[in-house]
Structure formats: C-alpha cells, structure tokens
C-alpha cells in the first residue's frame, strides 16, 4: 500500500509540473529604452548592415588660406637686328616705303641725308638747342662723357647746334655718330655739299626678319646694317 501511495503521489506531481509548463507564458521582453529628445540612438555596425560613413568637417572660414595671386608671364627677350633702307628722293616715296615696312618691323624712323659732293667729306653734329645756354650745357655734357673736338655754333641757320667734327669717309663719320648716340646724345652724320636731300628709313626688327624681302617690298635701292641704338 505504501508503495502504491508513493507512485500515485509522484504521478500527481508530474501532472502538476506538466500543467504548469503548459499554462506558463514567457515573460515579456524588456521595452527598448528611448533616448532623450534630440539625441540620436546609438546603432551597432551589425545592426546597420553597412560600413560607417566618415564625417567630413568643413574648415572654418578663418582657417582657409587665400590662394596666391597668379604671376604674370615673364617677358620674352627679343633679339633685334637693325637696317637702313633707301635712298628715297621724295616724301611720297618715303612714306609709301615706310608703310610697307611697318607691319614687318618693331619700330622705324625716317632719316634725311644730303649726299656727299666728292672731296667734301662728312660732318657729325647735334641739332640746334633751344637757347645758347642750353647749347653750352649740352656741350659740357658731351665733353664730360669723353668726346672732344667740338664747338657750339653761335649764329646762322644752325645757331645753337654743336659741331662734332668733319671726316673724309662716311664710315668714320657714322662710327662717331653711333658712339655719341650710344652715350645718350642725338648725334647725326651727314655729307657735306649742296646736293639734294634724300631720305633713309631706319628699322629695328626681330630675329626672324627677312631683310632682303623687306628691301624688295620697300622698293629700296640699298640696304645697310646699322646700330640699333640709332633707331629711335
């Protein structure tokens, strides 16, 4: 009897435990804790399912340095070569030739010349100054620069000009005039005599200048190499 009573007790206990498990409900999951208003919820990478996006911080206006101003291109050096075209016997021919040369050269100047009478030679001089005092001051400057053999013309059609010497050959006269011009004095060389005045066109041009072609275009009978310092 005792054993039977124990068996029945155990059976009742087992039935009670089975009924408790059958009727028992799982405890509700804890509610998600909401963050305060205005604060983003922290999310794990495995929950987001994608790699994090790096945040780029824009620099403040004070931290941005202004770009340096662009530098202008360096000037390109130009090698000049200079020539004299002529002679031209009248103003119309001179002007027409200079107009044809203008687009081919950097600068040009018209120079008048009186052809030499055989045996009379050439002279070098400075044009008349504004007054006798100016002529004397110019003569002193020329002397101080190391040029001698000069005198100031006091009267006549060329009063206040400065004579800088007479020479038998054109080459010697021109070398003297070019030396004075290079020193900053507007010296001129011209033949002595009473022949009619003719004109020459002095030009300064770039290194690619076609001197022979320019001579043909200008209709000049002659072409001479000259110092660029004399082309103003």
Q: Find the helix or strand (DSSP H, E) in which 82 lies.
A: strand 81-88
Read off φ and ψ for residue 201, nearest 5 degrees: -110, 115
pLDDT at 178: 94
* Selection from 170, 158, 113, 106 nearest residue 132 by Cα: 158
Whether 77-114+197-232 shares its CATH topology with 117-195 is answered yes
Q: 107-113 and 151-152: which strand pairing?
A: unpaired
The domain limits of the chain are 77-114+197-232, 117-195
pLDDT at 60: 56
Topology of the domain covering 117-195: Alpha-Beta Plaits (3.30.70)
> pTM of the predicted model, to two decimals?
0.40
Give yes or no for a contact between 83 and 226, defined as CB atoms under 8 angstroms apart. Answer: yes
* CATH number of the structural domain 77-114+197-232: 3.30.70
What are the structure tokens assigned to 97, written together? 């030739």
What are the structure tokens assigned to 31, written together? 């509610």
pLDDT at 183: 93
pLDDT, tens digit only, all 232 positions of the chain: 667 776 677 777 777 767 766 666 555 555 556 666 655 665 655 655 555 555 555 555 555 566 666 666 655 556 899 999 999 988 899 999 999 999 999 999 999 886 655 557 899 999 999 899 999 999 999 999 999 889 999 887 788 999 999 998 889 999 999 999 999 999 999 888 755 678 999 999 999 999 999 999 999 999 999 989 888 7
State the number of CA atoms in the 13 A half-sphere of 28 facing the CB: 3
pLDDT at 149: 85
DSSP 139-206: HHHHHHTT--S-EE--SSTTTT-EEEEEESSHHHHHHHHHHHHHTT---EEEE-SSPPPEEEEEEEE-
């Amino acid at each position: 009897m005792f054993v039977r009573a124990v068996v029945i007790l155990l059976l009742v206990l087992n039935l009670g435990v089975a009924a408790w498990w059958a009727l028992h409900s799982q405890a509700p999951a804890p509610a998600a804790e909401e963050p305060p208003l205005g604060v983003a919820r922290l999310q794990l990478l495995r929950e987001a399912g994608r790699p994090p996006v790096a945040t780029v911080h824009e620099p403040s206006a004070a931290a941005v340095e202004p770009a340096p101003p662009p530098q202008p291109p360096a000037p390109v050096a130009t090698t000049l070569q200079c020539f004299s075209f002529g002679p031209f016997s009248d103003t119309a021919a001179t002007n027409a030739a200079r107009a044809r040369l203008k687009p081919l050269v950097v600068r040009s100047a018209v120079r008048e010349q009186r052809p030499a009478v055989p045996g009379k030679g050439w002279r070098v001089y400075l044009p008349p100054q504004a007054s006798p005092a100016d002529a004397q001051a110019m003569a002193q400057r020329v002397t101080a620069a190391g040029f001698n053999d000069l005198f100031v013309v006091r009267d006549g059609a060329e009063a206040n000009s400065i004579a800088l010497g007479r020479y038998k050959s054109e080459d010697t006269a021109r070398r003297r005039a070019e030396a004075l011009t290079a020193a900053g004095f507007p010296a001129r060389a011209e033949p002595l005599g009473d022949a009619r005045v003719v004109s020459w066109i002095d030009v300064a041009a770039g290194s690619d200048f076609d001197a022979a072609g320019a001579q043909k275009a200008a209709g000049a009978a002659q072409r001479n190499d000259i110092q660029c310092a004399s082309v103003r």
